[in-house]
Amino acid sequence: MAFLKILFDNLREGPATEAFPFGEAATPDAYRGKVTFDETNCVGCNMCEHVCAGGAIRFSEKEDGLHFLIWHNTCISCGLCAHYCPTKAIKLSNDWHLSHLQEEKYEQVDHAVVPYRHCTSCGERLQPGGPMLHQLAFKGTNPRSQRLMNMCPDCRRKASYSGEAL
Amino acid sequence: MKSFDMPVGPLHLSLEEPMYFRIDVEGEEVAGIEITAGHVHRGIEYLTAKRNIYQNLALIERVCSLCSNSHPQAYCMGLEKIAGIEVPERAQYLRVIADEIKRAASNMFNVAILAHIVGFESLFMHVMEAREIMQDTKETVFGNRMDLAANVIGGVKFDIAEDRIAYVIAQLNKLEPILVKEIIPLYETNSSILSRTRGVGLINRDQCIDYGLMGPVARGSGYAYDVRTAAPYAVYDRLDVEVITYPDGDVWSRAMVRLKEVVEAIRLMRLCLRELPEGPLTAGPLPFIPAGEAITKVEAPRGELIYYLKTDGTDIPARVKWRVPTYMNWDALEVMMVGGRISDIPLIVNSIDPCISCTER
Ligand code: SF4
Ligand code: SF4
């Protein structure tokens, strides 16, 4: 008998399921979905690749910079990459629309190039280091630190001694 | 009376996971039972020694979906013990919340399946629908319905800010009346439930101790053992956890323990949200894990989960070994089933809430 009331209430309240695919399914902001990557903030520390449980992230060093690859099909949305990324260049979006045809399974890849920097004084190749890293390391920048940060260690030392960077 | 051997499993309509029983039947009665394990062995313990400590967080979480928070929690506690890492208070409270929300959802799942086996499908759906409130909460707070990915070494990687606290409390307020006013009274009084579950699958307190039983199975026989009070971890020592026991040791008692534990889990979550202190979420960026050994235990929804960890100073563990409650619990099926009817086998198996994927990993 007690259950009749529940059945009646359910009837009155209508369907409890979401109308998807005929309507939008509610997606929370924090939902762990497709990985996004911002090459301007990546500093090439490779931590995301190291912690990636699925082996979905791959970095390789090429002439023009660090090549970043993410295989979305291999990603298990664990969020470890985003957690350990010092500059939050890699994040998880709440996009869960990842279904695709079987023949497209090897195309679920995003590629980006993180360009090397070049010393503004001698032109030597430097590891990438976006503005976020300086923000983290120095809690803010000034014109002098901005000039110094784009030099190689040798030129930076010389510039500091000669006072030209002041 | 005619006696014969009846195989049940490894793939069988009434079993949720692959188990294989050879049941010795005399007429309608079970006379003996033999359990064969190993159908879903995936070599996960071996794999942990092939991956670094960070990757293992995600691997270990995927050992089993229903206790998926307890495994990383015990694993992180082990590494923290070896490295002497002090987990910040806020993270400790958040860990309890993650633990309890999983317990609530896991217990409700098992109790819903009980209704399904009894054939009371509308009750099954009603409990599953109520459980959805917890699933939605998990998705909103942690980003996934099952794998919370809550723990990292030295803390947690999720936060519950002020607006989220209000949301979680509203969700708990939605679930609690359904549970206390509708679901629990139904399981306590409905004749279809009672006639199939009362006095079925009996095991007494002494047998529980003999077999080393854990969790709701032991508590359903009046054996009040709970890691959260026997060896409190995180901040359980401050929460005054109520250990729920029922004296009779039948299928019904085990279900009632699980339902009452959901009510207790709701209370614990509320308490943690109110007491949640300010502070950092992790102990620091990257831990150094020296060579060492540690044993930790936590109360998973199915009972005591023990982890043994051995490290050698690298970031790849030398050995990770765990013991899950189902390992002992399914051995005791012998006691519960012999003398019972064949038709009660699925109910009895479900009453230990077996997790085969944890046990055989
Ligand atoms: S979410 Fe996890 S599996 Fe996916 S790319 Fe990041 S670390 Fe790898
Ligand atoms: S995305 Fe982040 S973690 Fe990965 S290499 Fe770049 S800065 Fe490092």
Confidence at residue B108, expressed as pLDDT on a 0 to 100 scale: 92
Average pLDDT over residues B169-195: 88
Q: Could you report the per-residue pLDDT of B239-288, keeping only the tens digit for each?
A: 888 888 888 888 999 999 999 999 999 999 999 999 888 888 888 778 78
Ligand nearest to the CA of B57: 1
Chain A partners within 8 Å of B59 (Cβ): 53
CA atoms within a 13 Å half-sphere pointing along the CA-CB vector of B305: 24
Give the gap in angstroms from C-alpha A83 to the nearest C-alpha of chain B: 7
Q: What CA–CA distance (Å, rounded) separates A67 from B305?
A: 42
For ligand 1, say whether the CB of A132 is within 6 Å of any of its atoms: no
Closest residue to B55, CB basis, from A28, A30, A53: A53
Question: Minimal Cα distance from A33: which residue of B?
Answer: B143
Q: How many residues are given for chain B?
A: 361
Q: Is the pLDDT of residue B348 over 70?
A: yes
A7: confidence class by pLDDT, cuts 50, 70, 90: confident
- Smallest-distance ligand from the CA of A77: 1
Q: What is the per-residue pLDDT for A1?
A: 63
Rounded to whole angstroms, what are the CA distances from B318 to B142, B290, B294, B312? 30, 12, 12, 6
How many angstroms separate the CA atoms of B16 and A94, rounded? 31
Q: Return the ligand 2 atom nearest residue A90 CA.
A: 1
Residues spanned by the domain of A147: 129-166
Is the peptide bond prior to B88 cis by the omega test (within 30 degrees of 0)? no
Q: Retrieve residue B93's tokens.
A: 């409270």
Res B42 pLDDT > 90 = no
A110 and A151 inside one domain: no
**pLDDT value of residue B259:** 92
Any atom of ligand 1 within 6 Å of the Cβ of A55: no
Tell me the pLDDT of chain B averaged across its residues: 87
pLDDT of residue B343: 81
User: Mean pLDDT, to the nearest integer, of B21-27?
Assistant: 83
CATH number, position A76: 3.30.70.3270
- The pLDDT tens digits for B197-226 are 888 888 888 888 888 888 898 898 888 888
Residue A33 near residue A93, CB atoms below 8 Å: yes
pLDDT at A42 over 80: yes
Q: How far is the CA of A46 from the centre of ligand 2 (A)?
A: 5
pLDDT at B109: 92
Check whether residue A38 and residue A110 sit in a common domain. yes
Examine the domain organization and report whether A59 and A86 are in the same domain.
yes
Q: Looking at the domain assignment, is residue A60 inside a domain?
A: yes
Q: Is residue A18 part of a domain?
A: no
In terms of domains, do A137 and A78 share one? no
Do B78 and B309 form a contact (C-beta atoms < 8 A)? yes
In a domain, A44, yes or no: yes
- Is residue A63 included in any domain, yes or no? yes
Tokens 């690859």 label which residue? A69
The rounded distance, in Å, linking the Cα atoms of A61 and A57 is 14
Task: Identify the pLDDT of residue A52.
Answer: 92
Percentage of chain A modeled with pLDDT above 90: 14
In this prediction, what percent of chain B has a pLDDT beyond 90?
22
Domain match, A143 and A111 both = no
Kindly state if the Cβ of A81 falls inside 6 Å of ligand 1. yes
Phi, psi of A14 (to 5 degrees): 80, -175
Q: Going from the N-terminus, what domains does chain B have, and what CATH number goes with each? A: 4-360 (1.10.645.10)
Interface residue of A8, A80, A136 to substitute, partner B, most B CBs within 10 Å: A80
Does residue A78 have its Cβ closer than 6 Å to ligand 1? yes
pTM, rounded to two decimals: 0.85
Using alpha carbons only, give the angle B148, B251, B346 rounded to the nearest 5 degrees: 80
Q: Mean pLDDT, to the nearest integer, of B348-356?
A: 82
Q: Are B147 and B61 in contact (CB under 8 A)?
A: yes
pLDDT in tens, B137-167: 999 998 888 888 889 998 898 888 888 898 9
Is A166 a residue whose pLDDT tops 60?
A: no
Rg of chain B in Å (alpha carbons) = 20
Of B144, B152, B285, Cβ closest to residue A77: B144
Together in a domain, A111 and A40: yes
Kindly identify the ligand whose nearest atom is closest to the C-alpha of B144. Answer: 1
Q: What is the pLDDT of residue B1?
A: 61
Taking an 8 Å cut-off on Cβ atoms, the answer to whether A3 and B190 are in contact is yes
What is the nearest CA distance from B231 to chain A, expressed in angstroms? 30
Q: Residue A130's pLDDT is what?
A: 67
- Cβ contact B269:B167 at 8 Å: no
Is the per-residue pLDDT at A164 higher than 70?
no
**Ligand 1 pocket mutation pick from A47, A57, A91, A93 by most atoms within 8 angstroms of CB:** A57
3-class SS string, chain B:
CCEEEEEECCCCCCCCCCCEEEEEEECCEEEEEEEECCCCCCCHHHHHCCCCHHHHHHHHHCCCCCCCCHHHHHHHHHHHHHHCCCCCHHHHHHHHHHHHHHHHHHHHHHHHHHHHHHCCHHHHHHHHHHHHHHHHHHHHHHCCCCCCCCEECCEECCCCCHHHHHHHHHHHHHHHHHHHHHHHHHHHHCHHHHHHHCCCCCCCHHHHHHHCCCHHHHHCCCCCCCHHHHCCCCCHHHCCCCCCCCCCCCHHHHHHHHHHHHHHHHHHHHHHHHHCCCCCCECCCCCCCCEEEEEEEEEECCEEEEEEEEEECCCCCCEEEEECHHHHHCCCHHHHHCCCEHHHHHHHHHHCCCCHHHHHC
| Residue A40 shares a structural domain with residue A64 | yes
User: Do both A111 and A138 map to the same domain?
Assistant: no
Q: Is residue A77 domain-shared with residue A145, that is, in the same domain?
A: no
Number of domains in chain A: 2
Hey, of B52, B55, B175, B189, which one would you mutate to test binding to chain A, going by the most A CBs within 10 A of its CB?
B55
A115-129, A137-151, B96-110: which range is least confident on average? A137-151
Say if the Cβ atoms of B140 and A83 lie within 8 Å. Answer: no
Residue B308: predicted pLDDT: 92
pLDDT, tens digit, for every residue of A53-103?
A: 888 999 888 888 888 899 998 999 999 999 999 888 899 998 888 888 999
Q: Contact, B45 vs B317, CB < 8 A?
A: no
Provide the shortest C-alpha distance from residue B59 to chain A (in Å).
Answer: 7
Confidence of residue B314 (pLDDT cuts 50, 70, 90): confident
A73 and A45 both lie in a single domain: yes
Per DSSP, A23 falls in state S
Determine which of B51, B53, B56, B57 to mutate to test the interface with A (most A C-beta atoms within 10 Å). Answer: B57
Q: Residues A88, A148: one domain?
A: no
Q: The complex's ipTM? A: 0.81
Task: For residue A123, tell me if it sits in a domain.
Answer: no
Residue B62 and residue A16: Cβ atoms within 8 Å?
A: no
Residues A90, A152, single domain; the answer is no
Mean of pLDDT values over B29-46: 83
CA distance A47 to A36: 16
**Do the domain assignments include residue A15?**
no
Residue B281 CB-density burial (10 A; 0-12 exposed, 13-18 middle, 19+ buried):
middle
In a domain, A67, yes or no: yes
